[in-house]
Amino acid sequence: MNKRFRVGSIVLIMTILAIAGCSVPRITLFGDRDAPLKEYTLQGSGRGKVLVLSIDGTISEKPEEKFLRGKEPSTVQQVAAYLKHAEQDPEIKTLLLKINSPGGTVTASDILYHEISAYKKRTGVKIVAVMMNVAASGGYYIALPADHIMAHPTTVTGSVGVIFLRPMVTGLMEKVGLSVAVNRSGEQKDMGSPFRSPTDEEVAIFQGLIDGLAKRFLDLVMQHRRLQPDQLARVTSARIFLAPQAQELGLVDQIGYLDDAIVKAKAIAGLPADARVIAFRRQEKEDDTIYNPAIQYSGGNAILPGLAQLQAVAEADFYYIWPAALGQ
């Protein structure tokens, strides 16, 4: 009976939403995403604080439509807000970045790198990055400002490179007998159009753009990690690595678990063993732990697993991303 009541309630809510359309006020079935940030202690009771900040899913600077929730702030927007809030607390001595991301757009990844670096410079706070399942491409890029990078024993990382993804519909159009008429002001004005194949010259232009963006990524890796020539040669292939390989190549400093990362985060800032480990939340979580994400990011509430992440790369753009990890 209770199950039927719950199903009936959900159907009723969805019917009301469908009838009311755009006039529906913001609903809070899943917690108030606009509630002020509050500090919650996850561990410890001593002096000094370690702030745990999770960065999960595809890195994007665009807000995302969520089922029954309207628009959610982008990854960039949310992380910037959390760092701004953290800057007001001088008791925070270490930022623990918990990263589980295949990467994202070039610009979004670079903005997060900038925001994390700027926060570190302004506050003097130490940063420890800990990689979970995947921290590839842009997911690795945002870890570069860290004073210490730790990988989980089963982490997949690397993919230091850039990819240009764009939809192509020329084959489908030929099959159904469709074409697109284009008037252009310059020879390359419609370069990258999904309605035609690129010319050899356009392929070369795109490759030049890709090479330039890849160089920026590799230059930052060299700046922060100072790899040897043989290490750099393997990294420039843009392949992925398991944690032991990444450590051998100098991409990570240590392999361990989240508890090990917290120990390191306290030690690197000279904090006592019982220093507080905190997180910022907009609402309280039951049985809260360091494994809970601080906030929901792209792909977190898709109706079908991975749908939102796949949508995030549906538009033509340049990406610091490992495409195979989308929709995992």
| pLDDT, tens digit, 9 for 90 and up, residues 81-138 | 999 999 999 999 999 999 999 999 999 999 999 999 999 999 999 999 999 999 999 9
- Report d(CA 159, CA 135) in Å as an integer: 9
pLDDT digits (tens, 9 = 90+) for 255-307: 999 999 999 999 999 999 999 999 988 767 666 677 776 554 444 443 334 44
pLDDT digits (tens, 9 = 90+) for 35-59: 788 889 999 999 999 999 999 999 9
- Dihedral (Cα; 53, 59, 65, 69), 10-degree rounding: -10
31, burial (CB in 10 Å: exposed 0-12, middle 13-18, buried 19+): middle
DSSP code per residue over 109-163: HHHHHHHHHHHHHHH--EEEEEEEEEEETHHHHTTTT-SEEEE-TT-EEE--S-E
Domains of the chain by start residue, with CATH:
32-179+192-325 (3.90.226.10)
Write down the pLDDT at residue 198.
86
Write down the pLDDT at residue 319.
85
pLDDT digits (tens, 9 = 90+) for 222-263: 999 999 999 999 999 999 999 999 999 999 999 999 999 999
- pLDDT exceeds 90 at position 207: yes
Strands (E), the chain: 38-43, 46-56, 64-66, 70-72, 92-101, 103-105, 126-136, 148-151, 156-158, 163-165, 240-242, 254-255, 275-281, 317-321
- pLDDT exceeds 80 at position 328: no
Which positions are annotated as active-site residues?
137, 189
CB count in 10 Å sphere of residue 64? 24
